[in-house]
A and B are shown apart, each in its own frame.
Chain A
Amino acid sequence: MEAHVFSNLAVVVLLALGAATVVFVRRNRLWSEALAELWRRRRFSVLVVGLYVLIALLDSIAWVGGTGANGASIEAFEARSVIDRLFAGTRESSYSAPLADHAFYGGKPLEAPGTHLLGTDILGRDVLHRTLKGARVALLIGGVTTLIAIPLALLFGVTAGYFGGRLDDAVFFVMSTLASIPGLLLLIALIMALGKGTWQVCLALGVTGWVGLSRVVRGETLKLRELDYVQAARALGVSELRIVVRHVIPNLMHLVIITFVLMFSGLVLSEAILAWLGIGVDGSWGQMIDQARDELSRVPVVWWNLTAAAAALFGLLLAVNFVGDALRDILDPRTLREDG
């Protein structure tokens, strides 16, 4: 299947999931109250995150052909996303400053003067275009990786916490071993073994990232399994699997959501570090920053590439962290009690 078809399908699935979540939240008093509270507290941050998601979704909807393509180029045969189409035909030959009408070196007039809001990079690509495309990569890394890490963390955390004994020892041993290996080294080793690429990086980040959440989940499960309603269910002869699915996991969901949000920003940052080491994901903000490394020592300085990528990264992470902190305050029963 072509990559863009897959991407389009993923958008449909994501939208369907989003709609399902909305329906679920509307029916569930607890969640709808919590989200209403979040909206009350962090309206702006939620909007910013939403904007990033919107851009990423627009960049994920792609199709072949249509207007805006340059006939002589192979662009006409490639799937281009909505974002790509907005920036069609804005390629220059090399650097140009934001909103300039001539090239940065040599001073030749540009193909599309005054249209590059954030200038162009060394290969003449529009920096705003690249920055917007970075949103998809960032959300992809954060999203896919958490989707790998959270099931792992739940599986291991709940088994260890709920069943205890030898199983707990074994799982805990694995977790301690993983936690004692320097994270970055393990990441690099994994990527060297798996090869370069988006999925490989996500997998490597996911495999190294589940331990923290798993510990919390294990602790919480240890507590939950002693609670009255679990004891009651057990006394009634309900199967272990059913208890876990019905009584334990739903009560871990607030932890999962908090960790998901907080982990997300950490992962996007980790990718930036990997990009610095030359093993990041193609098209990410980390890669843009890495490519801009030499530009700061140019005279006159080429600052827009670095600034754009760093600002985009900063904006997303700040907003996500604000949302994450607010969510923790709202969902975590302990902080709830302090509040009221």
Chain B
Amino acid sequence: MSGGSQSSLREGREAAAVARPLRWAGLSVAGLLLGGLLACSNDPYPQADADRKVYYTALREAPRTLDPAEAYNVTAHAITGNVYDTLLEYHYLKRPYTLIPGLAEAVPEAEPQPDGGVIYRFRLREGLLFAPDPAFALGGEGRTTREVVAADVAFQLMRLADPEENSPVVDPFSNIAGFREFQQALVAAREADPELASLPPHEQYARVGGIEGVRVLGSHDLEIALSGPYPQILYWFALEFSTPVPWEAVAWYDGVTRDRFDDHPVGTGPYRLTEYDKQFRVILEANPNWYGVQNPEWKAPGAVYPSEGEPGDAEAGLLPPDVVGQPLPFIERIEFRREKESIPTFNKFLQGYYDASGIVKESFDKIVQNDRLSPEMAERGIELSKSIKPTIFYLGVNMNDELLGHPAGERGRLLRQAISHAVDEEQWIELFVNGRGIPAQSPVPPGLFGYEPEYENPARVYDPDRARKLLAEAGYPEGIDPETGKPLRINFDSYATSSAQLLQEQFIADALRAVGLDVRIDATTYNQFQGKVQDGRYQMFFWGWSADYPDPENFYFLLTCDMRRAESGGPNYTNFCDPEFDELFARMRVRDNDEERLAVMREMRELLERERPWIEIHHPETYGLTHAWLKHRKSFGISFPMTKYQDLDVAKRAELRRAWNEPITWPAWALAGVAIAVVVPGIRTFFRERQ
């Protein structure tokens, strides 16, 4: 480089003089950066938490609300289920699902009344405290908590009835005497007196007068009166909807000057919410006021590790002698981290930064091979747990259809039976859900009362020859409609949104075509499908149902006359209606789980074997992955966070995380080498030419 003018030459010389120290500074900064790069780790959590029992899990999307009157999805329940304890709970290990007392001292017995109603008496434990919260200052200066009383449960039940809360579970709770009347009275009172609406909810409810069937007798006794038998109500007292809620919290967190109550739960559970950053993380810390911590001597069933489970639990390591009877919770903190993408989340699980995970569909075959963990995963000590969800997928027939439904009488029945024999559900499960599921024999999935593993539905045996014979009996030999001389035409109404879904429906259509029925897939969008259902212009469809609570009633009600889509807009999409079935259902619905109930359910099952409004396909199975350090975890099927029963081996976790996340440094060194090889001669040339 040759300097042009005098001045630029001088400047150049000065620059060179300054550049010498600068150069060293630059090199040392680069060195520091490089050093920092090599020393850094990919651990997303602070070092200080490394030896604490913190359970890490991913949060896909922050729930819209944590208000126990409204929250009704899996993500919300993962938080509310830990923060709010309920009067009753589910046994951690037993299947079928069994209720145990939670905040209540015992599971109440139904007490039938002469007027046809039923009464349940709950007695709350004494000395229960709410988690510490500034809201309790409303009840007296400087207070941070108070005792849980029966009125808190009554208050929450009134909130469920309040139309402003928009609770999704008004229907089941309407079985409580006076529930609807309270709802109407509240609306009427608000209309009559606009002043009322500005008061805090508990004062409004007090003015209206409460629900007739919810009787608070003293501070710890609660009487729930139902207008008729509804044994399933107990399951609703095991859900957060009926948890005690302090009126102070609802009045305090009004969403105007402070947080909304939706974002600030105050409960009685084993954990309490201490940080709620929807974009980053949610933290639950062990609740110091929880009855299990305050009164370990009670050995309450919901506060100690259970001593018995279902057969096989002991072998599976779910009943270790040193843990049985120990006070809960073991894990001191639950940390949810916001994760938007499934594959990075799963990679963090593989690196050991999440303790448990589902299986992403994309990599299912890499993780599970021949129904077992792949050797690579097993080597890491990852465990695979399977649980069958209380869900059913089925092929439904529109029973109002002229050809296939009730109007066709015996002919339609034979046709439905033929269809039932023509679909090979085992092949279906193999092809479309990677074998993750079991063939459904009846509407009732495993884990529920009345599911009998040895029962095989004779109508669900895959037997194309039998199907052809039934077709002939129905008057369609070889599937030929004698009127037209052509194969019988049936529409399969599809609302598939993906090609993969369409393939599933194509499979069913092909199976029916193989026995001689001309099944055409009528593919529309979901909205158009709903339109067809509205007008009754549909014949066959594919549908599924997931249990709200583990009672067979929640499945059989889908086939009752009252729930018919065409009549009442209910979820009975088949429009199946059979007085005999309804009569059996009415008997089954109100019985406790005993031999007689089982006998009634068998009768219903038999009726469905004959009638076939549903052609049951499968109950899906969920596969979960856990690391070896997460101890005595049993998957639960329904969405209850059973975190308090689980434990972590923190030392093992730290060790394995280190081993799995060895920084690979050679690329950095190689890169640095290349950089030096390129930059140093360049700098030297630059300065040489300057001079």
Contacts and interface: CB of A to CB of B under 8 A. Distances in A.
A73 B365 contact: no
Contacts of B516: 72-74
A196 B525 contact: yes
Interface string B515-532: 111100001110010000
Interface in A67-98: 72-74, 77-78, 93-94
A294 B427 contact: no
A297 B500 CA distance: 14
A105 B498 contact: no
Contacts of B518: 74, 77-78
Interface in B391-442: 427, 430-431
A278 B503 contact: no
Nearest to A291: B499
Interface in B510-555: 510, 513-518, 523-525, 528
B42 interface: no
A297 B364 contact: yes
Interface residues of B, number: 35
A122 B503 contact: yes
Contact of B517 (A74, A122, A123, A287): A74
B647 to A, nearest CB: 34
B365 A278 contact: no
B145 interface: no
Contacts of B366: 297, 299
A238 interface: no
Contact of B487 (A77, A192, A290, A297): A77
A168 interface: no
B527 to A, nearest CB: 8
A195 B503 contact: no
B534 to A, nearest CB: 16
A247 interface: no
B497 A72 contact: no
B362 interface: yes
B486 interface: yes
B364 A77 contact: no
A275 interface: yes
A282 interface: yes
A166 interface: no
A278 B487 CA distance: 30
Contacts of A78: 518
A298 interface: yes
B340 interface: no
A297 B499 contact: no
A4 interface: no
A293 B515 CA distance: 30
Contacts of B362: 297
B506 interface: yes
B513 A275 contact: no
Contacts of B427: 93-94
A278 B431 contact: no
A113 B201 CA distance: 74
Contacts of A299: 365-366, 369
Interface of A: 72-74, 77-78, 93-94, 105, 122-123, 192, 195-196, 275, 278, 280, 282, 287, 290-291, 293-294, 297-299
Given A72-B514, A123-B503, 18 more contacts: A72-B515, A72-B516, A73-B513, A73-B514, A74-B513, A74-B517, A77-B487, A78-B518, A94-B430, A123-B431, A123-B507, A196-B524, A287-B499, A290-B498, A291-B500, A297-B361, A299-B366, A299-B369
